[in-house]
Amino acid sequence: MEFPIVRMRRLRENPTLRELVRETKVTLDDLVMPLFAAEGISKKQEIKSMPGQFRFPVKGLVEECKKLRGLGIKAVILFGIPKHKDPRGAGAWSDQGIVQQAVRAVKDRVPEMFVITDLCLCEYTSHGHCGIVSGKKILNDPTLEVLAKTALSQVKAGADLVAPSDMMDGRVGKIRETLDRNGFHHIPILAYSAKYASAFYGPFREAVESAPEFGDRKSYQMDPANARMALREVELDIMEGADMVMVKPALAYLDIIKRVRDRYDLPVAAYNVSGEYSMVKAAAKNGWLDEKKVVLEILTAIKRAGADLILSYHSSDFAKWSKE
């Protein structure tokens, strides 16, 4: 059958019919809001390269979580900005670390908020790398111990789920084993499995002051040119016990999201990262893009590609707009 019998426009004429046949709908259930907890500040500070995003003191973060919950946001992922950084990233696993404090406060005051902790060292190390450094090398195996310790301290503080974003080999297995040994077999792991060495993380690194002091992250994060390698990363993380896997960034990697979705049956997350957010904000500020429409289109595209959940700085705006 073909034109003139077939007319694709028939299903597009009526707005209700368009809704009835819509294949993909983003809802608040799909979204996770990233938040930054900073040590040693008393008022929230706007992050210059990420308009509308803030570094929060613990108290402010709790208030923000209450507000988000009221808007219908059910999950957050927390990042920490410690006052002091050192070569081993001791702030990452300290029970008094900024993320541990933040998790405790949120779970205490807003218990219904689902709290994910980003699990990495780069926010806590003076050199800004995601692992233990010797000379100019980022050491893999010695880092695993530290990551496992960090995971345990985050979970003890009350994290509902941990998300390792360091890209060391073998970290998922090590974290799983450590959590299980300590009675936390019920806590799931969301692995940043296909995490690319991307320039789209620029604004985030300004936010947490984690730009590497020397070199770059290419010896551990993936080459943007590789897709098949992402499938191997995912496969290995699944074998090590990941409950969910992530593709990051999202927009320039929709093909990766799709391939992971097609090949594996566990939930797939996508991280709509800082640079993707800032581009939209900058263009909207100039009046070059309609922010609301563009954000809905972006989130819909990420979901259509196959993401079950989306980590996005747009989540709170999306929630506000959904209420209007």
Active site residues: 195, 248
Task: Check residue 172 for interaction with ligand PBG (CB under 6 A).
Answer: no
CA atoms in the 13 A half-sphere facing the CB of 210: 24
Neighbours of 31 (CB within 10 A): 24
Count the residues of the shown chain that bind ligand PBG, applying the rule CB under 6 A: 10
Tell which one of 201, 220, 253, 318 touches ligand PBG (CB under 6 A): 201
Tell which one of 143, 165, 178, 316 touches ligand PBG (CB under 6 A): 165
Q: Is 222 helix (H, G, I), strand (E, B) or coil?
A: strand
Residues of span 305-324 touching ligand PBG by CB under 6 A: none
Shorter beta-carbon distance to ligand PBG: residue 195 or 259: 195
Using alpha carbons only, give the angle 226, 211, 200 rounded to the nearest 5 degrees.
45
* Count of residues making up the chain: 324
Task: Check residue 253 for interaction with ligand PBG (CB under 6 A).
Answer: no
Shorter beta-carbon distance to ligand PBG: residue 93 or 201: 201
C-beta of 203: minimal distance to ligand PBG in Å? Answer: 7
Tell which one of 62, 110, 222, 273 touches ligand PBG (CB under 6 A): 273
Shorter beta-carbon distance to ligand PBG: residue 218 or 263: 218
CA distance 211 to 121: 12
Q: Is 269 helix (H, G, I), strand (E, B) or coil?
A: strand
Shorter beta-carbon distance to ligand PBG: residue 100 or 165: 165
Residues of span 96-135 touching ligand PBG by CB under 6 A: 118, 120, 122, 130
Q: Residue 43 has which token pair?
A: 């008022």
Closest by CA to 100, choosing from 53, 62, 175, 150, is 150
Beta strands in 153-208 (DSSP E): 161-164, 190-195
Region binding ligand PBG by CB under 6 A among candidate stretches 169-177, 199-207, 236-244, 300-308: 199-207
Task: Check residue 274 for interaction with ligand PBG (CB under 6 A).
Answer: yes
Task: Check residue 204 for interaction with ligand PBG (CB under 6 A).
Answer: yes
C-beta of 249: minimal distance to ligand PBG in Å? Answer: 7
Ramachandran assignment for 239, one of left (phi > 0), alpha (psi -120 to 50 degrees), beta (any other): alpha
CA distance 92 to 47: 22
Task: Check residue 220 for interaction with ligand PBG (CB under 6 A).
Answer: no
Phi first, then psi: give them for residue 243, nearest 5 degrees: -90, -25
Pair 241, 185: CB distance under 8 Å: no
Residues in contact with ligand PBG by the rule CB under 6 A? 118, 120, 122, 130, 165, 201, 204-205, 273-274
